[in-house]
Structure 1
Amino acid sequence: MLGRSSFSRPASFRPENLGQNALAMIGNLCFTIFVLGVLIFTIIAATYEPEDPLFHPSTKITSFLSSTSNATFKSDSSVVRTGEDFMAANQTAFATFINITDVGATPVSVGEALECEGEVDKPIDCTDPEVFHVMMKAAIEHFKDIHFYRFGKPVRGSNDSSCHMAWRFRPKEGKTAAFYKDYRSFVVSRSENCTLSVVRIGDYHSGGNARKRKKNQKPGFEKPPPKESQEIATLPVVGEVVNDSLPVVESEGSFDHGKYLLYTGGGNRCKSMDHYLWSFMCALGEAQYLNRTLVMDLSICLSSIYTSSGQDEEGKDFRFYFDFEHLKESASVLDQGQFWLDWNKWHRKDGLGLYLVEDFRVTPAKLAGVKDTLIMRKFGSVEPDNYWYRVCEGEAESIVQRPWHMIWKSRRLMDIVSAIASKMNWDFDSVHVVRGEKARNRDLWPNLATDTSPESILSTLQDKIEDGRNLYIATDEPDTSFFDPLKDKYSTHFLHEYKDLWDENSEWYADTTKLNNGVPVEFDGYMRASVDTEVFLRGKKQIETFNDLTRDCKDGKTLPTYIKTNLYLKRNSARVQKCLQAEIAPRTSEHDYIQQSKLAFWIRRV
């Protein structure tokens, strides 16, 4: 065939084309891998349900606190979360506790021993360093489930053999970022050879003479915290003397130079505590944004869901429920009554201006340039547009941050929590048993009543809590004899067993009566729920109703679980809005609307 080979190669396999073919094959392979990757990612994205957005880091604390524990759109009487619940425990600070080896013994010389003869029956000198060391060692040895961080200097007690001493402590297995203060009486004896020993340690807060520490007085003994740890001073200290007196303006000049923000009217009164705090924190956040002093009404109307009378009750003091001392130290706030006294005295004389805002759609950004002394937001009578938190919706969400770190629970209530835990020596486990209305509503919680029966609880606890343990039962079941079968295996404890901590002979009763101008204060339903919950949270092992005791969901069966996943919200916001309309539109209560507001808040955020 004229020099042509009988076996000819296809053009694509000729040597000069091999490089191009290899590049083409590699390109096709890469494209195939890319397509498969996109397909796999799409499948995962369509089926993956991420962690609850409410459990994001502390940088999203505002979003976290916007959640609700009851998504069935019924009245929510649960306890609101406050700033100290979200403080990260500073392990460096908590590591500097006092060991018994840190408390050095005070040697007694032979000469001192001889001088001691005839001193046996003399009064105990509580200022003696040897007495101090003996008391510290006795406390550390006696209270094995707590860490000590500071001992105050002992003072004389009720008689010649009694000394009172205070200390700052924290439970060894504590999960909350807080310190506690206790002060107890010690009975100290001196033997014939002059050896000192502690005969008895009194009950919680029995050493009242050691409670108050003089200003600028150095503590008796403590380990210095690490230089890099600066958080100790900002942590709550439960048990310290509370100073929640009202702040006052020092002079006319100070008042004139101040800038103020005041919210008045609206539909926030007598709503749930969740609603109240959500609205109040909006006002406080706007005041922070505008760099103004918030003029606040300390008088709260307590919703009927918390009262024994079943009626809304006016005249409750903000300081009954929240730590006003911490608030006034963290933010610039004034009591409304005191403010109006000063305003009426000086505003005409000094030409102080008032800027009235009657539309919640006037954003905080539009008020940033207002020069008047007082900005007053006045809310009308039409719900839900007269809810204070409407100010912080929409575009305001990006500029007004609710300062949750400024709101702590009442330290008087937390002192009751500490007292209950101390009576169990901080060595107890806890179980939270939700029954009440939910157990009766079998449409939403079909298994709850059965799963929270004593027999079912015992079955669940047998592999989780050892026999004979102290078991604190936090519950809304009014008849605690319902749980009697648990007494065969555990030493059970309930809130009502500690009612002496708030009865007419208690410190709480005296303090709140004084705050209330001599009128006794009821230990209401919200206070009970708050204390009950906080004691539960201090158990070494904590067994929840939902997730642990029952198969039912905490939110019941009606609300789709997808509203709690930001990925689904992002992909299906239209469907969620449709769901919200179907669930909420027929209802008109404030609780319904605040839930819609919070869910819409999350839809926009994600």
Structure 2
Amino acid sequence: MKSGNAAPESLRQRAARAIGNALFGLFVAVVLLLTVFAVTYQPPDPWLDTAASAVRMKQLFNKVVDNATFQTAGSIFLTGEDALAPANSRAGGSISIEDAQDAAEKALEATRGLNNGGKDRGCVESDIVVNCSDPGVLAAIEKVNLEKFPEIDAFEYRVPVQGGDERSCDVAWKYRPRRERSKRMYRDYRRYTLVLEPSCEYQVTDVGDWHSGRNARLQRFHGINAFNDSISSRGDDDSSSVGRFLYYTRGGDHCKGMKQFMWSFLCALGEAQYLNRTLVVDLGFCLSGKDNFPGRGDEPGKDLRFYIDFDHLRESTSVIELKEFSKLNKKHKLGKIRKRVISDNVKVSPMELRDETSTTVERSFRESSEPDNYWYRVCEGETEKVIQRPWHMIWKSKRLMNIVNTICGKLEWDFDAVRVERGEKAANRQLWPNLDKDTSAEAVLSKLSGRIDAQRYVYISTNERSPGFFHKLKEKYEVSVLDDYKDLWGPGSEWYNETMALTRGKPVEFDGYMRDAVDSEMFLRGKKRIETFGDLTSDCKDGINTC
């Protein structure tokens, strides 16, 4: 009886041991697999990997405009303006067609009274001299601008002044392009030819070109086209001397691509906001060779104000330029400014500095390329949940945007845009076998036929530098490329003089990044936009078999 009970018991024990051994073996196998995976797997840096960089940047900017660079690495950094939705309707506060019509009706009544002693007998045809100060003149100009330039919102007009002859008037106004997402204002001044109809209503018969109204040029608007990003003497300001500061010394991000630098710079701005400290900003900037003309190396000695709107940054948050900060240190050298230097920046999180009482917190980095010397590492890990990068504080340089708006003005704010990417990709037929052929002038002309109407203004955004390469397209379209507007950054131009004011008279080169920034923005302003990949060629953007 005893042996009979032992047999089933022995079977159950053996089965339990077998199941236990199998489960343990499975557990050991899983542990080994995870160990091997953890040791061998090298995750790509999401901001240095080209494809992941573009995807994550677009996610953070709510899937806004595509990056319009011609660099393989993708050099143009999307700024705070790109995160804003484009204006699809008239901006609040701008002059509407109803406003212009109402002003025209009131001016018409006044004009009839002035010309006829209060009797409604109409105006005589001999009144050939246009009185530019007549309210009817401005009303007619406002109305024609609304019809001719639907891509801009006008906000304020100056009183028209006499133009080049008795029938013309010059007028200046401030405006904002609808396709620009920032809140900046710009100005234009044009010459208008008018006639006084027998009904006493002024009619505009001709609108001058961009900036043609030279007699109205000196009519300045407060804050329009003015720059306030000079290094002010804040060292004498007591409010600055009692503040608290955060300073990142130059690190491994120096001379890296613009995307990496800005990603790191935004981390520093975010930490400064979190700690309620003033960020010390070194305006000395190194342009990476990969963001410049092909074949050029890294170029230190640039000024950050060439590329971003430092005036807007100062209005958005508390920052102080490094030279100003150095003056403060010298002024208060009697121990008033206490400093804490942090060398292990990855281990010391912003949360640990929240209650720091030192006047200055200095995060000390080395310029070598080890990962721990990158500024953006401060905002990784748990810190990423706490520090918010303030994208809205970084706008494109207004100096560059003035060039963009000038080109748009010359194209009457009514043009289509084509992006033609050639350069190294067109020369590499192993990865892009059809690109060179598909982006020839003849092929582009053939592709545009049927998609863009003849005689339209067409702006070609391209890295093709051969003069006259797209001359064939002029048979059908009013074609222009960036080099057609060299005078906008050449010696004596506004951009040339304004940048020299930042460098104490040293001429500034219009470098490759600036070209790409202007070209990219011009492409985005086009009413119709034709891309290289997907529109002009069947090749994949990143090479064969990557679509």
Tell me the TM-score normalized by structure 2: 0.77
Distance 1:101 1:353 in 2: 64
1:366-394 C-alpha deviation (Å, 9 max, x unpaired): 21121101011111243222121221222
Corresponding residue SS for 2:364: strand
- State the AA in 2 paired with 1:273: M
Equivalent of 1:166, from 172, 175, 192? Answer: 172
Equivalent of 1:85, from 74, 82, 87? Answer: 82
Equivalent of 1:184, from 170, 183, 189? Answer: 189
Distance 1:387 1:246, change over 3 A: same
Equivalent of 1:521, from 508, 512, 518? Answer: 508
Distance 1:451 1:190, change over 3 A: closer
Superposed counterparts of 1:31-70, under 5 Å: 61=60
Equivalent of 1:98, from 79, 96, 99? Answer: 96
Q: What residue in structure 2 maps to residue 18 of structure 1?
A: none
Displacement of 1:345: 1.1
Q: What residue in structure 2 maps to residue 112 of structure 1?
A: 114
Q: What residue in structure 2 maps to residue 246 of structure 1?
A: 231
Displacement of 1:185: 3.5
Distance 2:368 2:57 in 1: 37
- State the AA in 2 paired with 1:101: Q
- Aligned residue pairs total 479
Query: Can you give the 5+ residue segments of structure 1 that lack an aligned partner in the other structure?
Result: 1-51, 216-236, 562-606
Tell me the TM-score normalized by structure 1: 0.70
Alignment of 1:552 onto 2:543 = no
1:81-129 C-alpha deviation (Å, 9 max, x unpaired): 1110110235565376511534423124666225799x9688x664442
Distance 1:502 1:130, change over 3 A: same
Superposed counterparts of 1:193-204, under 5 Å: 198=204, 200-204=206-210
Distance 1:138 1:370, change over 3 A: same
Alignment of 1:332 onto 2:318 = yes
Displacement of 1:533: 1.1
Distance 1:200 1:145, change over 3 A: same
Q: What residue in structure 2 maps to residue 234 of structure 1?
A: none
Distance 2:210 2:524 in 1: 20
Displacement of 1:332: 0.7
1:531-576 C-alpha deviation (Å, 9 max, x unpaired): 1111111111101112222223323358x78xxxxxxxxxxxxxxx
Distance 1:182 1:249 in 2: 30
Alignment of 1:386 onto 2:373 = yes
Alignment of 1:412 onto 2:412 = no
Distance 1:369 1:153, change over 3 A: same
Corresponding residue SS for 2:470: helix
Distance 1:160 1:489 in 2: 35
Percent identical pairs in the alignment equals 42
Distance 1:109 1:437 in 2: 64
Equivalent of 1:303, from 247, 271, 288? Answer: 288
Q: What residue in structure 2 maps to residue 341 of structure 1?
A: 327
Distance 1:102 1:496, change over 3 A: farther
Q: What residue in structure 1 maps to residue 11 of structure 2?
A: none
Distance 1:446 1:120 in 2: 68
Displacement of 1:242: 2.7
Q: What residue in structure 1 maps to residue 490 of structure 2?
A: 503
Q: Give the stretch that moved more between structures: 526-535 or 306-315.
A: 306-315
Alignment of 1:205 onto 2:181 = no
Does the CA contact (< 8 Å) of 2:194 and 2:206 recur in 1?
Answer: no
Query: Can you give the 5+ residue segments of structure 2 that lack an aligned partner in the other structure?
Result: 1-51, 118-122
Distance 1:398 1:553 in 2: 36
Q: What residue in structure 2 maps to residue 600 of structure 1?
A: none
Distance 2:180 2:221 in 1: 31
Distance 1:263 1:207, change over 3 A: farther
Displacement of 1:493: 1.2
Q: What residue in structure 2 maps to residue 45 of structure 1?
A: none
Alignment of 1:292 onto 2:273 = no
Alignment of 1:430 onto 2:417 = yes
- State the AA in 1 paired with 2:434: N
Displacement of 1:472: 1.2
Does the CA contact (< 8 Å) of 2:403 and 2:518 recur in 1?
Answer: yes
Q: Give the stretch that moved more between structures: 246-255 or 281-290.
A: 246-255
Q: What residue in structure 1 maps to residue 36 of structure 2?
A: none
Q: Give the stretch that moved more between structures: 186-195 or 145-154.
A: 186-195
Distance 1:69 1:198 in 2: 39
Distance 2:484 2:68 in 1: 27
Distance 1:158 1:147, change over 3 A: closer
Distance 1:467 1:158 in 2: 34
Q: What residue in structure 2 maps to residue 135 of structure 1?
A: 141
Q: CA RMSD in A?
A: 3.6
Distance 1:518 1:120, change over 3 A: farther
Q: What residue in structure 2 maps to residue 377 of structure 1?
A: 363
Corresponding residue SS for 1:430: strand
- State the AA in 1 paired with 2:352: K
Displacement of 1:523: 1.1
Does the CA contact (< 8 Å) of 2:235 and 2:325 recur in 1?
Answer: no
Corresponding residue SS for 1:295: strand
Distance 1:365 1:247 in 2: 32
Distance 1:341 1:460, change over 3 A: same
Equivalent of 1:274, from 250, 259, 271? Answer: 259
Displacement of 1:151: 3.2
Displacement of 1:489: 3.0
Distance 1:383 1:166 in 2: 51
1:66-93 C-alpha deviation (Å, 9 max, x unpaired): x98899xx96363211110110235565
1:232-265 C-alpha deviation (Å, 9 max, x unpaired): xxxxx9x632322335437453233211111113
